[in-house]
Amino acid sequence: MKTNMLEQDWSAKALQTVTENLLELIRIPSFSREETCATDWLAAKMSSDGIAFERIQNNLIATNRHFDSAKGTILLNSHIDTVKPNAGYTRDPFGSALEEGKIIGLGSNDAGGALLCLYEVFKCFYDSENLSHNVIFAATAEEEISGKDGIELVLNQLGDIVFAIVGEPTEMKMAIAEKGLLVIDCTTSGKGGHAAHAATGNAIYHALEDLAWFKEFKFPSISGVLGPVLMNVTTINSGTQHNIIPALCKFTVDIRFHEGYTHETLLEIIRSHVTCEVIPRSTRLSPSFIPGDHKLIELAHSLGISTYGSPTLSDQALMPFDSVKMGPGKSERSHTADEFITIEELRDGLVIYKNLLTHALK
């Protein structure tokens, strides 16, 4: 009973702190590559809380006080940056407000709530001795653009990571797998000419067969957690004016894939089926997956935390170690107008994060 009362007292105080901090953070624009002011703000909070940290550009890293290099480390990570507000906002995106149990404003759901809940829970273990693992808190930049000056910049500073908890809005469900991303630029060539004459070199017509293949093809391997590979043609461009037959047709394909494929195997399969030139934009963003017998999944199930596979991308794609994604808020609210997170979701985030870490660090 006494323990329960202490936990309730902690969660109430922590929730008040997270609420106040989130209202402050929302008021600071922190678009990708423009996170300096928000990072300054969080660095000042950490200093005020007595948390020692290292700053690398717009990334903040803090380790538990009794860090032991002989132990493995659990990473708590979320991002500082936000997307730019879309045109549908009916209010000031930076005019944070607490209304009817909701904190409203840009970045509240994605991922200010997760970031500040993880930080508050990290503080609980900062001074603890005899933990089974070290704990690192990393607030990182450029997640929304998968930039090179975010988590990727600091990976070599993190040491031996046993697993990471990546804070993103998942309703505190644990995403144990996440699809990777391959974006390809395709070019079909033809022969230009005057539209008044019969011509066989129309690049748009040549592209139709490849476009149909991208629409209809089904990759044979299907993940039990993430489902099938998904391909979508997302942009297309050809021609300059109505009376000229175009010699080139360019289109872009967005491909979300599971752990059964690599960027290289996808490219090999695609190139064997299409006639267009296929150029990948990047091969950095890989799928994430931990096996069903992983101790983190077993721990989640024992604590009543549900697991699932996520179709959305996060900084997990850049992590070369085991990771899961979980946090307060709903993924569907990310990047939407009048974004919000509820106080109840923040409370759940704090309690579940702390309970999970308490058991993981025994």
Confidence bin at 200 (pLDDT 50/70/90): confident
Q: Tokens in use for 1?
A: 């009973």
- Domain ranges within the chain, ordered by starting residue: 2-178+287-360, 180-280
How does pLDDT run across 142-198, given as a tens digit for each residue?
Answer: 999 999 999 999 999 999 999 999 999 999 999 999 999 999 999 999 999 888 887
**CA dist list (Å): 209 to 59, 205, 297:** 46, 8, 44
2-178+287-360: CATH topology: Aminopeptidase (3.40.630)
Spatial separation of the C-alpha atoms in residues 17 and 15, rounded to whole Å: 5
What does the pLDDT look like over 206-236, one tens digit per residue? 999 999 999 999 999 999 999 999 999 999 9
pLDDT tens per residue, range 121-150: 999 999 999 999 999 999 999 999 999 999
CB 171 within 8 A of CB 329: yes
What pLDDT shows up at residue 173?
98
Q: What distances in angstroms separate CA 98 from CA 23, 32, 111, 138, one per listed residue? A: 8, 25, 17, 27
Q: What is the CATH number of domain 180-280?
A: 3.30.70.360
Nearest partner of 216 among 273, 265, 262, 261, judged by Cα: 273
The whole-number pLDDT of residue 342 equals 98
Nearest to 160 by CA among 323, 321, 315, 359: 321
Query: What Rg value do the Cα atoms of the chain yield, rounded?
Result: 23
DSSP H/E element including 24 = helix 2-26
Q: For the chain, give the mean pLDDT.
A: 96
Averaged pLDDT, 283-296: 93
Token pair for 137? 């808190």
CB 157 within 8 A of CB 228: no
Domains 2-178+287-360 and 180-280 share a fold: no
Instruction: Convert the pLDDT of each residue in 46-56 to its tens digit.
Output: 999 999 999 99
> Residue 1 has what pLDDT?
43
- Local structure of 33: helix, strand or coil: coil
Q: Please give the pLDDT value at position 3.
A: 52
- Burial zone of 83 (CB within 10 Å; 0-12 exposed, 13-18 middle, 19+ buried): middle
> What are 9's two structure tokens?
């007292």
289 close to 259: Cβ distance less than 8 angstroms? yes
